Structure 1
Amino acid sequence: MNAPMQPNFARGFPPTAQRSPATPRRPPGPGHMPVAMPQHAVPAQYMPAQRVVQHVAEVPRRARKPTDKNMPDGIEDVVIGESVQQYKNLHELEKRLDAAVVRKRLDIQDSISRTSKKYRTMRIWITNTVENQPWQGPGNNPGSGRYKVRIEGRLLDDNTDSASEDEDEGPANKDDAMDEDKDEADESKESASKKSAQRFSHFFKSVTVDFDKPANAIPDEVKPVAWTKPQVPPNTTSAPPNAEFDSIQFTRASQENLNVTVSLVQDESQERFKLSKELAEVLDVEEETRSGIVLGIWDYIRAMELQEDEEKRTVRCDHRLRSIFGREQMFFPQIPESIAPHTSPIDPIKLPYTIRVDEDFHKDPTPTIYDIQVAVEDPLRAKMMALMQNPQYTTGMRQISALDDQVALIVQALTHSRARHSFFTSLSNDPANFVNRWVSSQRRDLETILGDVNTGGDASGAEFRRGGDASVWDSTVAREAVRYMLAKPDAAAR
């Protein structure tokens, strides 16, 4: 014997007591006043479900903006002209254009994230002048001889041959250019490209002049001269005034020639390090940044196929990597901290110079000139950054998004118009059968929504007259509707 079908209850709620359909409902009378039933505590496991259901019921539905911009099917048959095909061609072109723009922006971002450095030649002039030396004339105090050293650097133009440039045009031959007023006058005569170039102090963290100490030297006369670039305050783009200059100079008392060494410590946005012999053998370079070291090791691992099959982050060390890490296997995230013992700061650039105070040299003084390579930002990098941060792009994207919303609304209106056109076309072709099918379809939808197949209405449709296994009465909807009808109080009273 089949068990009677029980109504389904929401998950998480205990079934309440059901009155038998055969039990008549007695209306409340004077002697049958409703009695307040004692309230029992609801078990804790049911409280979250009740709160969730209540919360879901209280959340209002929000209208979603249409996003479909594709023309509805069959719209070409009812639209005169080639406008639909032209729209589809434009829509396809827009897709290709959007894909190209996104791909180019990703390429630009990838280029910006990489180390985009370019090396240019900086020419450095070192010269000195003298005053109050004994050979400069009678009346000079024998012990008051002094010298003044000037170190000046300037980037050479890309199209300038450093070997063929006339040295007489260098600032080191301007003996009267020691004061700041004349420096500013000389800078105002330079070309526009030289004005916009980064200044000498931009490329170095510190400049130090060390003296070779002779046996009879006075300590103050051979004390090192040092300049260190000041720290730029946070949220500040411009450097302090004392950190922007093209030349540095100092003066001391001396009547003898002195040998000095000018040490220049380069300042780079991404600091490079000198690599150990083992690490240089793997990367095939002697100097590299930390990010470049990690990327170089990763390229070496992929080229030698040293990744484990199951755990890709585990690396099998060959003889070169074993000489660096000292183990058979290496976890790749540990590589950045493991390469620290194999890196060291780059040696400063050392420029020897002899301070001449003798008369023979100053009859025809010539500066000492050095050409060094300094790292500068790629000019394209600034242009790419300006392109990525262009506010007009953001404004344009907002306008395009607003136009896309309008196009989606128009396409939605076309879809509705196409549905109405199909409706009235079918109605005009066969009105009687169309109305019967439409009414039957609408009745079935309504009864499915209400869960009530037989409410006393007219169920004379063709689908209701047909019985059997494939009929409407054998469907799950019909069974649920009958169960719902039997559970209603008025049906049980009948």
Structure 2
Amino acid sequence: MATHQSIPVPGSYAARNLPHSAPGALGGPVPVQGKPRPNPAAAPAIQYTPNDLSIPAKLYQDTPNLEFYKKLLDAEREIDLISVKKELDFHVIHAKSLQPSSFKKETGTLRVYVYNTCENQPWQKQLAQQRGEPVDPAAEGFWTLKVEGKFLHKEGKEATNKFSSFLSGISVDLIINEDYPHLAENQTHVVEWRDQYPQYQQRQSEFDGFDVKRPGIFNLKCKIAILIKEQTARFKMSPKFSQFIGKEEATQQESIQGIWQYILFKGLITKKEVAQVDAVTSTTPGLNDAAMAIDTAKDLTVVKCDEVLQDLLGVEQFRFSELFQLIQPHFLPRQPIILDYEIDTRRSTTLGDLALDIPVELPTDIAHLQRVTSDEHKKVFAESAQTLVQIADLNSKIALGVSKLKNLDTRRDFYKELNENPVEFIKQWTKTQSETLKSLKSDEGYDEEVVRRAQYFEDHEDVLKEKIDVLLGTTKF
């Protein structure tokens, strides 16, 4: 009877660790004549990509310079924690940066010119006649009052914003006198314009000048009221509150913050052991005493007012949640800028006589800024995604190196055990091969005398290959 060398089944302990470069060696492939073998370079039916980056502890003792890899893993974990935190912070900042209140306001100066021009005045007709120019004696004299504005950017940029975009309203009140009695008759002595559009809505038409034209040959006094639009919700404070907070104008948040800082500095918050506080005694009209009753067992943010706060708020004690209601009387409507001007009909123009500089904030194009901010954030996201791809590629290479290192360690253990006790090792290895063959044959069973011959593997190559792929896919080896 011819003898045949047993072939280790791929995936077994022996087959994974025997050197593949030695044909005919223990566990190596045995050349068989006859039936052509499949191309060994062909892609396997199931591909396996290593992703394990951990190295057994024993390899750190046997492999030089492997401690650097351990330090690298520790540093990577710290970087991952920082990256996750920064990513969460970035998402919060991204959401917050798209809010209108987060955009930085650009400031500058609104220069307002007030002047008037005249035409067909008696002295103008006389000068025209002296120059020999044609004159219509029946032409009525007119004057035109002009209020024009131009925005001057602090950084010297050329602004395209119109004068009307900085105004909430403008009005001209012509003071009636005996030379202009008709103004009272037809009610044309008051001319005004008000902005009817919301703050962030684009206007259909804007202007750089506000003109009032009337017939007349005599001087006329008038009052011009200009109400500047506030891009932020700032209010004019009452004299008493202005003295307390140190500002003539402030937002509601700034007002509440100023009072809260004063309360903390003075230590005016009541202690927890105070069980009951009587109803607030208010000198401010319109406050509901029943609504101001305080139970400190449920609300510990009760403030006992000192003399300054009592004089300012008109109460002896209050909840902090009621502070907003208490400071409302100190918010006054913004006052317009009032200009007294006299229309001079003795000159062709008075341009340059009166100019006024008003500090203003540039209206914010919210939609444009949101688009720009969103585009910048998209670039950051794209760069981050590209970095993650590079990191994944490096991790794949590291995992492949770790897998090779583990395979080398397994082969070393194989040869070490074979060298120490060859007989016992071969017996154990043969037993392992037998168990593997049983797994390959599944429930069909097998004849050891048959399967130990090479001819069996040649005849059932396709079936064996299929079952080996299944076993590899289910990680039963």
Tell me the TM-score range normalised by the shorter chain.
0.5 to 0.7
What displacement does 1:146 show? 0.9
TM-score (norm 2): 0.55
Corresponding letter in the other structure for 1:239 = R
- After superposition, what is the alpha-carbon deviation per residue over 1:59-96, rounded to whole angstroms, capped at 9, x for unaligned? xxxxxxx9998988677664768973784597356766
Tell me the distance in 1 between the aligned counterparts of 2:111 and 2:151: 6
Report the equivalent of 2:171.
Answer: 208
Number of aligned pairs? 330
Q: Does 1:248 align with 2:244?
A: no
Equivalent of 1:265 in 227, 237, 241: 227
Tell me the distance in 1 between the aligned counterparts of 2:152 and 2:210: 19
Match of 1:300, SS state, is helix
Report the equivalent of 1:144.
Answer: 140
Tell me the distance in 2 between the aligned counterparts of 1:71 and 1:334: 63
Q: 1:345 to 1:364 in 2, by over 3 A?
A: closer
Tell me the distance in 2 between the aligned counterparts of 1:377 and 1:133: 41
Corresponding letter in the other structure for 2:382 = T
Structure 2: gaps spanning 5 or more residues: 1-49, 127-134, 273-298, 429-477
Contact 1:132–1:141, Cα closer than 8 Å, also in 2: no
Q: 1:148 to 1:350 in 2, by over 3 A?
A: same
Equivalent of 1:275 in 219, 225, 237: 237
Report the equivalent of 1:458.
Answer: none
Taking the TM superposition and a 5 Å limit, the aligned residue runs for 1:23-422 are 78=63, 84=69, 87-88=72-73, 91=76, 113=101, 116-117=104-105, 119-137=107-125, 140=136, 144-158=140-154, 193-194=157-158, 196-215=159-178, 216-218=180-182, 219=184, 220=186, 222-231=188-197, 238-240=202-204, 242=205, 244-308=206-270, 310=272, 313-358=301-346, 361-362=347-348, 366-376=352-362, 386-387=372-373, 390=376, 391-401=378-388
Q: 1:114 to 1:69 in 2, by over 3 A?
A: farther
Q: Report which stretch shifted further, 254-263 or 290-299.
A: 290-299
Q: 1:406 to 1:318 in 2, by over 3 A?
A: farther
Tell me the distance in 2 between the aligned counterparts of 1:252 and 1:93: 75
Higher relative contact order by CA 8 Å / sep ≥ 6: 1 or 2? Answer: 2
Match of 1:230, SS state, is coil
Match of 1:315, SS state, is strand
Contact 2:107–2:153, Cα closer than 8 Å, also in 1: no
What displacement does 1:225 show? 1.5
Tell me the distance in 1 between the aligned counterparts of 2:403 and 2:173: 86
- After superposition, what is the alpha-carbon deviation per residue over 1:308-328, rounded to whole angstroms, capped at 9, x for unaligned? 555664434333333344334
Tell me the distance in 1 between the aligned counterparts of 2:54 and 2:210: 69
Tell me the distance in 1 between the aligned counterparts of 2:51 and 2:330: 56
Structure 1: gaps spanning 5 or more residues: 1-65, 161-192, 440-494
Q: 1:68 to 1:279 in 2, by over 3 A?
A: farther
Q: 1:334 to 1:349 in 2, by over 3 A?
A: same
Q: 1:366 to 1:105 in 2, by over 3 A?
A: same
Contact 1:151–1:249, Cα closer than 8 Å, also in 2: yes
What displacement does 1:343 show? 0.6
Contact 1:72–1:414, Cα closer than 8 Å, also in 2: no
Tell me the distance in 1 between the aligned counterparts of 2:217 and 2:323: 56
Tell me the distance in 2 between the aligned counterparts of 1:348 and 1:147: 25
Contact 1:71–1:411, Cα closer than 8 Å, also in 2: no
TM-score (norm 1): 0.53
Match of 1:274, SS state, is strand
Q: 1:296 to 1:68 in 2, by over 3 A?
A: farther
Tell me the distance in 2 between the aligned counterparts of 1:246 and 1:68: 70
What displacement does 1:405 show? 5.8
Match of 2:362, SS state, is strand
What displacement does 1:256 show? 1.5
What displacement does 1:415 show? 7.3
What displacement does 1:211 show? 1.6
Q: 1:116 to 1:429 in 2, by over 3 A?
A: same
Corresponding letter in the other structure for 2:266 = M
Contact 1:282–1:300, Cα closer than 8 Å, also in 2: no
Corresponding letter in the other structure for 1:362 = S
